[in-house]
């Protein structure tokens, strides 16, 4: 039924239309305790049957259900009857699941207002928020939640642990929160907490382009910050602690720097020592050559001549080793300069083959050569090219058994890059040693390898010299089958026959 119009009052006039738009149920009682006005919401919520101005406040209250644990409304009306004329805010749980908030407030002139508010939805949201807050608190990641207006909506314990001095309060704007951090000198960035930093951090939030790194908290720990915005504009900000990873990276960088410094120091030391060794070695070789060739006359016992020859050969071997170490050291130290000229690579290979033919013949190894004809001049360091070829051929012959073969191939790949390939049918290299044989001084420990000698410097030097020319080095080997080394040098080093340019 429609509500009864409010009674006329000489002291106050209340607009009935205004009462009707209120979402709460409202009933007004005069100084005599009798009902003189109510709105439709009160009538529908209370469902107390017909209301009329003769109903008293006590009659209306007794018709309402009591709070949980009370048999009737009478049990919670004592404050009213005792003369206080005010009831505490009371919650009533209805059998149908709805929840009311009941408030009785005094008005002017001894009048009273009874207000019924349906807080069912608010309670549901509150319980949902509480469950969500509990879950967020259980999360070990520091979390901050902002509403669509960039106001702080929620945070968890981990966030407070990260910033124990953070002055957070519900509803504070994100910008104000950042300013508070700056004022308390909280370190959220690699720089000082200044207004410029606040502006930059706000820009990162408002123009979010993906996770970014920050330093936060009194211990200056590293965090990876990511933001996720929901459809309603709520933003979840999470911080992943990456301190251990960052410190490991810094330690690795420091270790790499120390290793580089140590390597440079080693290379410089070897380069200096190599120079110091070459002078006396040249003297040893020179004097031993005089004795071997008896340039100053016969020396008597022929065994002296033989010994002098051994001294000269040993000195030559040692000088070759020193030169190789010197070259490697210079390359590692970045001090090796190529002396480039136009050379005939095929001629250099033939010249080197003549040096190795005798050794191959004595080892019972056949050497086959395939060289592409009419190859243009090539710009390179002549000594480096000859050393690369000599090292590869020496290794191939040394590690190939009697009856085996070595093949040397020189050609252009698709008419462009220069390809130099040396393949043998020797003992090969085990798969686990393939990468290590390119380390200076490394030698495979197999008995058949050790007895064949070598310094372990040949392949590393060839690789370094190839790369110094802008080329690539490829090693393919199978134990018991053989080894193939392929050097590829860039086509731009060829002299073009028509233009004459490099």
CATH number, domain with residue 182: 3.30.450.20
Question: Do residue 76 and residue 109 come from a single domain?
Answer: yes
Q: At a CB cut-off of 8 Å and minimum separation 6, what does 54 contact?
A: 34, 35
Beta bridge mates, 139: none
Task: Find where tokens 């009857």 sit.
Answer: 81
The angle formed by the CA atoms of residues 335, 337 and 342, to the nearest 5 degrees, is: 170
> Which tokens belong to 331?
């390359």
Strand, helix or coil at 276?
helix
Q: Is residue 500 part of a domain?
A: no
> Which tokens belong to 296?
């100053």
**C-alpha span between 135 and 129 (Å, rounded):** 10
pLDDT at res. 77: 60
> Which tokens belong to 81?
């009857």
- Residue where a domain stops, chosen among 313, 332, 351: 332
pLDDT at res. 1: 38
Domain count for the chain = 4
Instruction: Find out whether 255 and 245 touch, Cβ atoms under 8 Å.
Output: no
Q: Is residue 264 part of a domain?
A: yes
- Residue where a domain stops, chosen among 218, 241, 264: 241
Q: Is residue 325 part of a domain?
A: yes
- Residue where a domain stops, chosen among 118, 144, 166: 118
The count of other CB atoms within 10 Å of the CB of residue 281 is 19
Q: At a CB cut-off of 8 Å and minimum separation 6, what does 65 contact?
A: 73, 92, 94, 95
pLDDT at res. 82: 55
Q: Angle between the 243-293 and 302-332 helix axes, to the nearest 10 degrees? A: 150
DSSP 431-464: GGGTTGGGSTT-----HHHHTT---S-HHHHHHH
* pLDDT tens digits, one per residue of 91-107: 778 777 888 888 888 88
* pLDDT tens digits, one per residue of 314-358: 777 677 777 777 777 777 666 677 889 999 999 999 988 888 888
Q: Is residue 3 part of a domain?
A: no
Q: Is residue 2 part of a domain?
A: no
Beta bridge mates, 103: 115
Question: Do residue 363 and residue 453 come from a single domain?
Answer: yes
Question: Do residue 355 and residue 489 come from a single domain?
Answer: yes
Question: Do residue 219 and residue 280 come from a single domain?
Answer: no
Question: Do residue 160 and residue 293 come from a single domain?
Answer: no
> Which tokens belong to 232?
């309603």
Question: Do residue 204 and residue 270 come from a single domain?
Answer: no
pLDDT at res. 447: 44
Question: Do residue 323 and residue 215 come from a single domain?
Answer: no
User: Is the sign of the CA dihedral 151, 157, 162, 165 positive or negative?
Assistant: positive
> Which tokens belong to 187?
């370190």
Question: Do residue 293 and residue 201 come from a single domain?
Answer: no
pLDDT at res. 422: 94
Question: Do residue 188 and residue 87 come from a single domain?
Answer: no
User: Is the sign of the CA dihedral 64, 70, 74, 75 positive or negative?
Assistant: negative
Q: Is residue 502 part of a domain?
A: no
**CATH number of 395's domain:** 3.30.565.10
Residue 57's domain spans which residues? Answer: 16-118
Q: Is residue 277 part of a domain?
A: yes
**C-alpha span between 476 and 400 (Å, rounded):** 15
Beta bridge mates, 431: none
The count of other CB atoms within 10 Å of the CB of residue 403 is 10
Beta bridge mates, 489: 418
Question: Do residue 292 and residue 368 come from a single domain?
Answer: no
Q: How many CA atoms lie within 13 A of 318 on its CB side?
A: 17
Q: How many CA atoms lie within 13 A of 445 on its CB side?
A: 1
Instruction: Give this prediction's pTM.
Output: 0.45
Instruction: Find out whether 488 and 474 touch, Cβ atoms under 8 Å.
Output: yes
**C-alpha span between 482 and 124 (Å, rounded):** 78
Q: At a CB cut-off of 8 Å and minimum separation 6, what does 391 contact?
A: 458, 459, 461, 462
pLDDT at res. 4: 42
**CATH number of 304's domain:** 1.10.287
User: Is the sign of the CA dihedral 92, 93, 97, 101 positive or negative?
Assistant: positive
Question: Do residue 346 and residue 489 come from a single domain?
Answer: yes
DSSP 325-391: HHHHHHHHTT-----EEEE-HHHHHHHHHHHHHHHHHHHT-EEEEEE-SSPPPEEEEHHHHHHHHHH
Residues of the chain with pLDDT under 50: 1-13, 186-191, 193, 446-450, 452, 497-502
Of how many residues is the chain composed?
A: 502
Q: Is residue 274 part of a domain?
A: yes
Write the CA distances from 395 to 331, 345, 391, 432, integer angstroms: 21, 20, 6, 19
Question: Do residue 29 and residue 108 come from a single domain?
Answer: yes
pLDDT at res. 500: 41
- Please provide residue 272's backbone torsions phi and psi, each rounded to the nearest 5 degrees: -65, -45
């Amino acid at each position: 039924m429609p509500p009864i119009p409010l009674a006329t009052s000489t002291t106050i006039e209340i607009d009935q239309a205004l009462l009707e738009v209120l979402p709460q149920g409202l009933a007004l009682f005069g100084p005599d305790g009798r009902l003189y006005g109510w709105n439709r919401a009160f009538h529908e919520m209370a469902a107390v049957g017909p209301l009329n101005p003769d109903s008293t406040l006590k009659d209306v209250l007794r018709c309402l259900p009591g709070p949980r644990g009370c048999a009737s409304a009478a049990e919670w009306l004592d404050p009213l009857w005792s003369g206080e004329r005010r009831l505490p805010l009371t919650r009533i749980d209805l059998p149908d699941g709805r929840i009311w908030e009941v408030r009785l407030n005094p008005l002017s002139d001894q009048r009273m207002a009874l207000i019924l508010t349906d807080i069912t939805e608010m309670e549901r949201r509150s319980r949902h928020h509480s469950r969500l807050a509990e879950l967020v608190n259980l999360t070990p990641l520091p979390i901050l939640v902002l509403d669509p207006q960039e106001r702080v909506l929620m945070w968890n314990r981990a966030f407070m642990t990260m910033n124990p001095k953070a002055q957070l309060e519900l509803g504070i704007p994100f910008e104000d929160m950042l300013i508070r951090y700056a004022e308390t000198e909280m370190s959220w960035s690699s720089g000082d907490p200044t207004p410029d930093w606040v502006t930059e951090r706000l820009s990162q939030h408002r123009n979010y382009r993906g996770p970014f790194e920050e330093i936060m908290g009194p211990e200056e720990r590293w965090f990876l910050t990511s933001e996720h915005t929901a459809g309603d504009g709520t933003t979840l900000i999470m911080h992943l602690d990456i301190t251990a990873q960052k410190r490991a990276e810094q330690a690795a960088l420091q270790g790499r720097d120390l290793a580089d410094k140590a390597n440079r120091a080693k290379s410089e030391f070897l380069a200096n020592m190599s120079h110091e060794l070459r002078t006396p070695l040249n003297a040893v070789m020179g004097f031993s050559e005089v004795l071997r060739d008896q340039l100053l006359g016969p020396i008597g016992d022929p065994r002296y001549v033989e010994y002098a020859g051994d001294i000269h050969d040993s000195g030559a071997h040692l000088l070759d080793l020193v030169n190789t170490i010197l070259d490697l050291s210079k390359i590692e130290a970045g001090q090796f300069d190529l002396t480039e000229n136009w050379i005939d690579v095929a001629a250099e290979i033939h010249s080197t083959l003549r040096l190795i033919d005798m050794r191959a013949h004595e080892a019972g190894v056949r050497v086959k050569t395939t060289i592409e004809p009419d190859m243009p001049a090539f710009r390179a360091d002549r000594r480096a090219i000859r050393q690369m070829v000599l090292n590869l051929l020496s290794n191939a012959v040394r590690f190939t058994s009697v009856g085996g073969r070595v093949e040397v191939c020189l050609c252009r790949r698709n008419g462009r890059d220069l390809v130099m390939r040396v393949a043998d049918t020797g003992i090969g290299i085990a798969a686990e040693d393939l990468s290590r044989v390119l380390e200076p001084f490394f030698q495979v420990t197999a008995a058949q390898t050790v007895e064949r000698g070598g310094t372990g410097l040949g392949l590393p030097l060839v690789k370094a010299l190839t790369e110094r020319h802008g080329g690539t080095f490829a090693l393919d080997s199978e134990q018991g089958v053989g080894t193939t080394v392929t050097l590829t040098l860039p086509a731009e080093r060829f002299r073009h026959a028509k233009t004459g340019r490099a």
